[in-house]
Structure 1
Amino acid sequence: MSHDEWLAEHFERHRPQLLSAARRMLGSSSDADDAIQDAWLRISRADTSGVENPAGWMTTVVARVCFDMLRARKARQLAGATDAEPVADPAVADPEEQAVEADLVGVALLVVLETLTPPERLAFVLHDVFGLPFNEVAPILGRTPTATRQLASRARRRVRGAENEAPPDPTRRAAVVQAFLAASRAGDFQALLDLLDPQAEARSDAAAVSMGSQDLVLGADAVAGVFSGRAKGAKAAFIDGNPAAVWYAGGTLRVAFLFTVVDEQIEAIDMVADPDRLAAFAVELIEA
């Protein structure tokens, strides 16, 4: 048997598993078919001399293709495109395709998966559904195994309806802020990334923009870049009971950083420098 025949035989043998994985990651049978075709083109051209587990390797290739497709879909949605597929919407989904998807994935799971970010979705599906270890999933997402584990944990909580659980301990959220400030001061870019949600945002009010801040920064990489090596004068605090950081100059509060922390990751940082808003804040310092 030639190498090409060996590869094609393994691909056909594992096609049902690969197609199932693609459907779960993409939520669409038609997109999954496209992903499998693209994956086969990549697989057929790849060097397989070091492949010891064909099924796991092929699943990884399919996952990379699906991740690219999900990011492209997200980009179209952010750009306001109208061709993104609301796969769980029965008013627009093809009935036959929807029935197949519901049977393979489950209606409830499809709906929840659509609310996840692409990294969360892949981390959850590849680890929880298909059993890939985090050290194999992490390179697909460009994250560390620890960050990938956090993504899967967040996705798992959403799938299990964690939104109905009790709100997290504010002390734990404050600890996330303190860790972020420490990483910022140390210029530890990777530590900042691990603490940030992949879709994290940093927003500044008009007063902060006039001081040199960007009005909007999108994505964990960009936000980490803004804060890496900074925050040397900032102090962790509670503002109106929520985790925050503050910067004083001449004994006067000049800037407040309001953190949105969910599942021990930072989803947003709001920089406030408007004097009227600052004057209305109830600040309780955590760090002296």
Structure 2
Amino acid sequence: MADGGLKAIFLAQRPTLLRLLVARLGNREDAEDVLQDMWLRIDRLTDQPVAQPAAFLYRIAANLATDRRIATGRRGARDAVWVDSQPHADELPDAERRLMAQHQWQQVEGAIADMPERMAIALRMFRLEEQSQRAIAEHLGISISGVEKLLQRAYRKIHDRLNRFAEDSEAARRQHGERGTDRAR
């Protein structure tokens, strides 16, 4: 079956696929995103015959839903670790807290400046402009999963940059503390 036939079956099955995805993902927005990813995948298929096109579409939907649930779980776990690893505001004096936030923000800006252009655009659109992943995908001409991958890589770059900054800051504090101890003797 040519992809035109598969697209026609997709369009005919779309309402049922949407209900299935809403049930699996728990919300309509994620389900619509998965349907968009499905459409893009179907669009990329060559004229390969598909023996059971409806079953093929339901398998794609189930696989994409599973991938999205896994990615969401990982993102939640990563965000929880990030929050837990940060110093709590009540543990630092106000001046130190402001200075630390300023230095961290400089590191974030530096990480964004070092990112490839599309990655930086996706991150800015998502985090600063609060655009949906679908809007970002349309703007960049990529799939929603492509946007998710760009955002994951962007977060990783920022996380790595902040970790290096924290390690460098800790090493400098230790070195400064050692010098101070030597002077006190």
TM-score range (shorter-chain normalised) is: 0.3 to 0.5
TM-score by length of 2: 0.37
Identify, as 1 or 2, the structure richer in helix: 2
TM-score by length of 1: 0.27
Higher RCO, 1 vs 2 (CA within 8 Å, ≥6 residues apart): 2
Identify, as 1 or 2, the structure richer in strand: 1
